[in-house]
Structure 1
């Protein structure tokens, strides 16, 4: 096993383990090595100091400890990667094009619906009961799907 210090094109640093240098090269060429922060497949190896032992070599040979088999690498399927990208783009679009009213979402949606304030695009937080009550009043609301954990 070999550990590489890696960085994506946007400058995120991270580390990953590979069975061999050739394995890293093959996976990177197929676009399977991606940044865990931004999912960019444009990843490069960083300079890394070698791990060196300290002290003197023992005069009596010490048997090597048995090594556990490495954890299997689970890669995302292409449809899952596309879905995650679409969800991230949706969240980014909502954040760019609407006002975040936070926990005042239900109150602000009602004020706009009843003409107390000018209508505009908003997003925020509401309890399930508040969202149901808004729908029962005829106020159109839509929950935003949560972003999957970046490391899942």
Structure 2
């Protein structure tokens, strides 16, 4: 796994994301699957990052502080936990107002977009290819930030 600092072109928002490899990032970027979590812009690029260089193996006990980019203070672990908890709470508040459509998400979203079904708030599952197709056709959809257990899989 590799973590990249990313930023969007629209709002110049900075965020980080994990990828299986550099090639995985490039593939997802080319398919428009990476969006800014603040503004939704899909014109996302790697931001300038300072490398984290480990200490020599013969210098046990020597601790090298991480290098932080200028003007980019690192949030405290408590702040990060609070932000994730706030995101999870907001998502949990919104989901009961939305209808679970399972694996039919792409079809249901397309039907509403084309006027074949009444507009409704929905959530469900879509493959990366289905998500890309919705995006390419101008159909608004975005991933949930906190994973959920599908109703049929819940105990």
TM-score (normalised: structure 1)? 0.44
TM-score (normalised: structure 2)? 0.43
Larger radius of gyration between Structure 1 and Structure 2:
1
